[in-house]
Structure 1
Amino acid sequence: MLQVSYIRENRDNVLERLAVKNFKQPELVDEVLKLDEQRRQTQNTLDGVSAEANAAAKQIGELMRSSKKEEAETIKSKSNIWKEDIKKLSEQLSGIEQELQQKIVLLPNLPHSSVPKGITPEENEIVLEHGDKPQLPANALPHWELAAKYNLIDFELGVKITGAGFPVYKGKGAKLQRALIAFFLDEAEKAGYDERMLPLLVNEASGFGTGQLPDKEGQMYHVGVDNLYLIPTAEVPITNLYRDVILKADELPVKNCGYTACFRREAGSYGAHVRGLNRLHQFDKVELVQVVNPDQSYEVLEQMSLHVQGLLQKLGLPYRVLRLCGGDMSFTSALTYDMETWSAAQQRWLEVSSVSNFETFQSNRLKLRFRNAEGKTQLAHTLNGSALALPRIVATLLENNQTENGIKIPEVLVPYTRFEWID
């Protein structure tokens, strides 16, 4: 959530940055400012009446003690008017604050100055490309056919049990999943992240705190009876561990990681590009979250990007890094890097990670602060990144490593899988 004070002092810049993000309701900025002005005026009036009432109460006490009861009664007779005014102004202020809150949460985060203009994924900026694309024979199979051939994943069983987008992993397919999760968590631990095991359901306050609500409720699975939401990513419960927390300066950076299943409705997704593991409703992911001093957040963002790239390099997967354009960024992000791996059988890039800096957008909602060197509290910066999401990693591992003799397991995973080949 943007800070009202920043909008008030930087209106033109806010409108300029929202335009980069292709925001369709710029009029909300002036609506927020109008409500903010009303709020401040009403607060000032309420403070004035309250001060007058408090002064009168003090004066009444003094008059009563000096036996000037008639004067005291005269002033006391006005107290009901003050009480009524205070009640009326308080109700008016509460209504204005509620309307202001409803408006300001509709404003997305402002994109960083380095974010390119653009609307579609095709307008994202390619930062770098690493590795050689494998040259597969003409009869190479896509991962969903490889999964069937080697009895690794059963998509139809998932449909029977739950529905489309809920695959069943079998045999070496299940072991490969488990191996990747353990590998990613071990690498996170080496990088200084503290692991968390987390609830898969969160309350509305948690969804609001990280910005999924009210923006993404249509993409989240909702348990109506209990008003709980299945998590779309471990970012939500991990970051909310620090809701309403004031950290000490020497506690920063906070570095947490966690493995969870993730649930996304992905409404409207269809077509060839969502076949197999390309787009699921339930998938596994290891997530990294950091809470940092604002002075260091963009340096940390680069470090997190390098960590993800290191995982892809160790797996031997060709990849590229994209800086997302304004129109392709999330509601909450100030700057996002996407990492994509090359699917040799499908002949296209598949997104496997997003690493984002949210600056104070989430921490303002969460009331997540730290006490700086001067002893004053200020909002921290939050960041998160997938390290990594498994489905498309599995897809590209299967496709890129297929041979006539089977599928070769990357060397770094063999200690985890305890087999070198899928055959």
Structure 2
Amino acid sequence: MQARRQDKHVCGGMIKDKHSLKGKLVGFYTPWCGYCKKLEPVWYEVGVELRSSGSPVRVGKMDATAYSGMASEFGVRGYPTIKLLKGDLAYNYKGPRTKDDIVEFANRVAGPAVRALPSKQMFEHMMKRHDVLFVYVGGESTLKEKYNDVASELIVYTYFFSASEEVLPESMSLPELPAVIVFKDGAYFTYDEYEDGSLSSWVNKERFQGYLQIDGFTLYELGETGGALIQRVAKEYREHFNSDFQFGHMDGNDYINSLIMGEVTVPSVIILNTSNEQYFLPGEPIETMEQLVQFISSVLNGSAQAYGGDGIIQRIKRVAFDARSTIMSVFRSSPLLGCFLFGLPLGVISLMCYGICTAESDDGSDDIDALKREGLTDEEEEEEEESSGLFHVMCDTLSCC
């Protein structure tokens, strides 16, 4: 019993009031949610890991059906929803639901929005740990205030650091101070307010590597004819395309097939506009870097034909395509299971329709007979009864013979 009480304390208990949410990593769930049940063992491991590592973050959970008002107040729309409550701010977690990713998110957001790099050794250590590193260099300034605000907003995605110029590599030469620098892809790039626009937009764009593996989570926040070819374009044409495109590769073609409602060949190159689900396909196979650059440029200047979109008709077509694909995959993997899952409901519905139609037909004939009777006079009704009785007598006589 002692062990059970300790484990419950480690994982955090049920949260029942708003005050107990402060400073916690909270999982909003519903008892009927299958994804919530799947997350439960991971959630337990997250609680154990955070407590054993000495993290100040404590883990809790809230039944959104029992406390729907509080869940609505925090903007919970789907389940499970994970939020870290820090002061008056609620940071929403949107990454993979694994122990390591959730723990890393909790430790990152719970700490200071901007972390100091006091030495060259610390700077080099962070360079090894992070593929993308944002650093503010300089003293107090308006740019530093903006940087702190952006860090408070976007710390859910990446770390933010500050350092003095002496901490940076001696080979670096900054045109002016203060400056915001991003280190990635073996190089560094400096923020320019006049060319790059708002600092928040620039950070949002630069927090990805120049070339990365794309999955469902990466697409939510934002093909190989030879990965090296696309990587070369991403690096050599950075100044031309970086502000408008994110380069990457995707394993498999299931997502793209669903998007274009067809079968895309592998390997292929496709340009996807994640804001409206439009996509662009090259008119001919791309085999050289010049062809790839020309294709990207045609999309950029508007001469390439756009397909798809997020209109209501496209959404209906996509739902129908996904449903058909699901049914076909079930029949291909297990024909008997497919017949049972889809044949049984269709059979039941057919029997119900037949029963309804038959019942209506019988009721209709009864109503017609009643109307005929209402239209008869008393004498006609007596004659009908006599003829009916005579008919029965004749039937009885014939059966006796």
Question: Higher helix share goes to which structure?
Answer: 2
Higher relative CO (CA 8 A, sep ≥ 6), structure 1 or 2?
A: 1
Larger radius of gyration, structure 1 or 2? 2
Q: State the TM-score bracket (shorter-chain normalisation).
A: under 0.3
Question: Higher strand share goes to which structure?
Answer: 1
